[in-house]
């Protein structure tokens, strides 16, 4: 396992993505030990 320091800006972006959704997922893509992409997939749920 290779440990490296994650930029504080990236940590904040991930946190914001999590805070902004109620249902869904946040996907963090890593290449060569670096975070290169953050995706947010949000689901909307409606009462019947």
pLDDT in tens, 9-19: 999 999 999 99
Q: Which helix (H) or strand (E) holds 24?
A: strand 24-31
Other C-beta atoms lying within 10 Å of the C-beta of residue 32: 6
Distances (CA, A) of 45 to 18, 21, 25, 36: 17, 12, 14, 30
Nearest CA among 4, 3, 26 for reference residue 43: 26
Mean pLDDT of the chain: 90
Confidence of residue 38 (pLDDT cuts 50, 70, 90): very high
pTM of the model: 0.75
């Amino acid at each position: 396992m290779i440990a490296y320091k994650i930029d504080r800006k990236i940590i904040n972006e991930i946190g914001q993505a999590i805070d902004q959704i109620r249902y869904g997922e946040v996907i963090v893509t890593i290449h060569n030990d670096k975070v290169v992409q953050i995706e947010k997939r949000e689901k909307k749920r409606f009462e019947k």
